[in-house]
Every structure is written in structure tokens, then in C-alpha cells.
Chain A
């Protein structure tokens, strides 16, 4: 089984200089540049150290998630998963490897086929991972998985619309877990849920991560959700990582001005009267220099000329800023 390989391979995921540009659209009438959704990203995910990517809409984090899942092809760069270069594998080999990395999407409604019953949805990855599995064994595994995510066995007979939002996300998590993957990419898994349900799902993710030896790549705009699940975090801004390191340290003492603004902008019900620093609204990236410079409260002349690279600033921590 896949379990044997998992222990040996380290790191679990290695992303090397990954780039994804989208060709310009509507180029007939207006001269437009390619969209640099992911623009040179490097990171490693170690076994059992869940990795979070935080950033605002349009920063490229969902594109990055799809690249890591090999659901999209990069313009350049590599994604190594358990020692395999995902984009040089044959289609057949990639399909066989897929049981080891699965995905959970933001919108639980949209990620479940409305015409399939829950048991078929949850069991779907087994069609590929274990095609010869006898029906009864398959049913047992689906039932066990439903129980593991806190659903009843007879819930398997119901259709997605008969579940609440939180239950649907549980179904999606069950589907992702049924092939016993080593990695689950969770793209905004709780953003569409109510606060109390968010807490249930975050707890569930953490518990399952511990009990089933699953490492997460958690993508979110919600810093708190990231910190609750991930050990390491990267902050993404317009296709690039601007800061990376242990989640707890970064949120306690953010180094990059963008991370500071992000942490500062989250309203804290326990400290409602705190005065916060503001940054201007999103602006298009400058063509030269640091892409955050147009919004940066501390930008200097050199920030508009030289683009800073991600470099070590303290043990385990990296930031891309001239001023640190």
C-alpha cells in the first residue's frame, strides 16, 4: 500500500520555481499583458507539517492549489510529490498516483454532483484507486468514512441538497480521505460556512490530520483558519510569496508590511477599539520593483526599482522586503 512509501519520502511536496501565466484575453483590441497568476514560487511541505497559504482574492493562491493538484499545467517549474515530478509522469502513472493527494473545495455545494447519492460521491475515488473492490467492501469503506467525518451510515442514501452546508463539506472531506492520501489540498474549506460550523470543520480537519497521518496544504484568506490547521504558512501577494515561516511566529510578529496589514485588518472582537494601520486599496502591480510597493506605507525609492527576493530573515523565516 501507499503507506509504506509515505514514511520514507521527504519532503512530501516540493514546489520548484513554479510559474503559471495566463495568455492575455481580448488582445485583438487592447494591448494587454499576460496574467501572472503564479509568478515564481518555491516551497516544501514536510511530512506532518501542514502548510498554509494566505492571501487575498486574485493573489493566485487557488491557481497554485490547482497546480499542486496537477489539475492545471504550469508555464514553468516543477511540482515534486513524494519524489515524483507530477508534470513529467505519464497520464496513466499520474492517475495512479492521485490516490495519494486529494482536494477539498470551497463551495461544498458546487463540489458535489447534485445527481449522485452521498455514498457514490464519497466512493468515487475508489473507482480509480481500487476498481476491483467488491461492492460490500466498498460499502463498508464508505460507511466507515462517513462515520469518521461524523455522518450517519444511512446518510449515504441521501442527495447533496438534503444536507446542510457543513454536512456537505464533511462529505467532500470524506471523499478526499477515502483513498488514504498523504496530502489533502484544502482550498478555502470553511469560507462558505457559518462560524459555528467553521469551527466544527476546522476541528475535524485537525483531528483527521492527526489520526490518519494526513498533511494539509490549506489555502485561505482567513488567517485564523490557517493558523488553526497549519504549522507553516506562506503569505502570497500577486503571484509571489512575500513571507514564509512558522505560522504562529508570523502571525504573532509579522515582518513584511503586507503581512502586517493583513494581520492588522482582521477585526478582533476581543479588542474592538484598537486603532489599526490602513493600507490603500489594491492597486495594479508596478511593472518594476516590489509588486506591493504601490500600496506599501513604507515603500522607498529602491522598492520601486528592485524587486526583492524571498530571503532568510531569522531561523526558519523568510520575507521578500528590502526594509527588513
Chain B
């Protein structure tokens, strides 16, 4: 049983890695080449179905859907990547500091994290972008802020365990201070866990970006984005249902890809599962 589950886990990881690679490669490729310039309007060939010329058809303005999807994916990835990075750096810093110091500082950090958790992330992101104004950078901020407490908690929890190890005591006995112990011993040992969490957060960030863009708070025109493609497709639901299907599918697949990657990595990294093997 366990063995079968494990193989399935490995297969999931492989599929996850494969899909993520496809996303990354097409995104990078789109910097130099797309089937058509994604913003090129070509009214005569509007609302075409999939064909050899336009693999996934065209939208009401005659733009090439495949090109828009690819570039939209790139934008999504870029925003998600920056947002997760912001959350990761600040969250890991706070979490590691909380674990290292303990006492009231740790309590304050964790209560702040609880406070942030109490707000529904997407709604709050909408609020932030509504206040700061729409745009990619503000979307990054809005999504990034809600990644901070996640990473802070995961880091603190894992770091506290590491702080209980004898090799930390040995480092203290050698005269090392909290900062160098955190950098040399704690962070390298929680890195695996953080990578797992980052890929799961990445999936959420893609979803959040799509949501914000759908509502018009995220990526702004003429930059294509999956969320706005969905929104624009709504009007033509009955005439061209495929227009909604493609971006929806792209969102679902990339979220799935990063979740599979994260779960698969977790199985590899989690020492408890490793022991059962």
C-alpha cells in the first residue's frame, strides 16, 4: 500500500516538474517569440475557431489566443514569483528571528501573523489594490503581504525544532551567536521545507493574480493576463465558449502543476515520510 502510494507520489512529482518546465520554457520563449504579437488587433479575423494559423483561435479583437495565453502565463508567473519572493524573504526573516529570540518578540511576530491570517487573503488583496490603485506592482505587494505570515509560521515552526538539536547546543558551546547559528545551521536545515511551501504558495499566488486581473486590479491592458482573458470571454460565452475554456484551463493546470510539485517535494523532504520508506 505504502509503496504504491509512494510511486504515485513520485509520478505526481514527475508530472508536476514536467508541467512547471513547460510553463517556464514557454514563458521564457515568449520573450523572444510568440506566434503573433499578443496585442495585435486584427478585426477581420476575429472570433475564429482553432486552426493551423491560429492554434487556439482568435478573440473578439482578432488577437491570437495562443499568444495571449503564453504571454499572460509569463505575466502571471512573474507576478507570482515576485510576490512569493517578497513573502519568502520577509517571512523567513521574521520567522527565523522569532525562533532565535523566543520570548516577547516571538509572541509579537506570531500574533501579527495570526492577525493577518484572520483576513481572507484574496478579499484583502482586492482591498489593497483598490486603495493603492490597480497594476502589476501593487498586485505583487498585495499577494506578497499575505505570503509573509505563511512563511513566518512555517519557518518558525521548523526552526524551533532545529533549535532543539544538539548540534545547535554544540555551536552555542563553541561561542556562536544567534545570528551565525541561524545562518549556518538553522536555515540550511529548513530550506527543503521552505522550497516545498514556496511551490504551494506559488500555486496560490497564480490563482490570486488571476482573481485580481479578472476583477481588473492586476495586470493592466495591453498586457494580456489569464484573469482578464476570462473576464473578456464572459460576454461571448454563448458565441465562443472556447475563449473562456482556454485561460480557465491554463489557470487550473498551472495551479495543479505547482501543487503536484509541492506535494511531491514534501514527500521527498519530510523526514517522517522518509523514515517510513
Residues A113 and B173 in contact, CB atoms below 8 Å apart: no
| Neighbour of A111 across the interface among B167, B175, B177, CB < 8 A | B167
The A/B interface has a contact count, at CB < 8 Å, of: 63
Residues A71 and B189 in contact, CB atoms below 8 Å apart: no
CA distance A129 to B188 in the complex (A): 23
Fill in one digit per residue for B71-111: 1 if any A CB lies within 8 Å of its CB, else 0. Answer: 00000000000000000000000000000000000000000
B-side contacts of A106, CB under 8 Å? 166
Fill in one digit per residue for B45-59: 1 if any A CB lies within 8 Å of its CB, else 0. Answer: 000000000000000
| Neighbour of A71 across the interface among B167, B172, B185, B188, CB < 8 A | B172
Fill in one digit per residue for A95-122: 1 if any B CB lies within 8 Å of its CB, else 0. Answer: 1101101110111001111111000010
The chain B residue sitting closest to A95, CB to CB, is B175
| Neighbour of A113 across the interface among B175, B177, B185, CB < 8 A | B185
The chain A residue sitting closest to B176, CB to CB, is A128
A125 touching B174 in the complex, CB below 8 Å, given contacts A113-B185, A115-B188, A115-B189: yes
B-side contacts of A124, CB under 8 Å? 170-171, 174, 176
Residues A107 and B166 in contact, CB atoms below 8 Å apart: yes
Residues B175 and A114 in contact, CB atoms below 8 Å apart: no
The chain B residue sitting closest to A125, CB to CB, is B174
The verdict on B277 contacting chain A, using a C-beta distance below 8 Å, is no
Residues A103 and B173 in contact, CB atoms below 8 Å apart: yes
Q: How many residues of B are counted as interface, with CB atoms below 8 angstroms from the partner's CB atoms?
A: 17
The chain B residue sitting closest to A129, CB to CB, is B175
A110 touching B180 in the complex, CB below 8 Å, given contacts A96-B175, A128-B175: no
CA distance A106 to B185 in the complex (A): 19
Residues A98 and B167 in contact, CB atoms below 8 Å apart: no
CA distance A105 to B197 in the complex (A): 33
- Counting chain A CB atoms within 10 Å of each CB, the highest count among B166, B174, B184, B189 belongs to B174
CA distance A127 to B167 in the complex (A): 15
| Neighbour of B175 across the interface among A98, A110, A172, A175, CB < 8 A | A98
Residues A98 and B174 in contact, CB atoms below 8 Å apart: yes
The chain A residue sitting closest to B169, CB to CB, is A71
A110 touching B174 in the complex, CB below 8 Å, given contacts A115-B188, A115-B189, A127-B180: no
Q: How many residues of A are counted as interface, with CB atoms below 8 angstroms from the partner's CB atoms?
A: 30
Residues B167 and A113 in contact, CB atoms below 8 Å apart: yes
The chain A residue sitting closest to B164, CB to CB, is A110
Fill in one digit per residue for B188-200: 1 if any A CB lies within 8 Å of its CB, else 0. Answer: 1100000000000
Least Cβ–Cβ distance between B226 and chain A, in angstroms: 39
The chain B residue sitting closest to A91, CB to CB, is B177
The verdict on A226 contacting chain B, using a C-beta distance below 8 Å, is no
CA distance A113 to B185 in the complex (A): 7
The verdict on B272 contacting chain A, using a C-beta distance below 8 Å, is no
The verdict on A69 contacting chain B, using a C-beta distance below 8 Å, is yes
Question: Which A210-261 residues sit within 8 Å CB-CB of chain B?
Answer: none
The verdict on B165 contacting chain A, using a C-beta distance below 8 Å, is yes
A-side contacts of B177, CB under 8 Å? 95
Least Cβ–Cβ distance between A302 and chain B, in angstroms: 42
Closest 9 CB pairs of A and B: A128-B175, A111-B166, A125-B174, A98-B175, A95-B175, A105-B166, A110-B166, A113-B167, A115-B188
28 contacts between A and B (CB under 8 A): A71-B173, A95-B177, A96-B175, A98-B174, A99-B175, A103-B169, A105-B170, A110-B165, A110-B166, A110-B167, A111-B166, A111-B170, A113-B167, A113-B185, A113-B188, A113-B189, A114-B189, A115-B188, A124-B174, A125-B174, A125-B175, A127-B174, A128-B174, A128-B175, A129-B174, A129-B175, A172-B170, A175-B174
Q: Contacts A103-B173, A124-B171, A124-B174 known; list 4 others, CB within 8 Å.
A: A98-B173, A103-B170, A111-B170, A128-B175
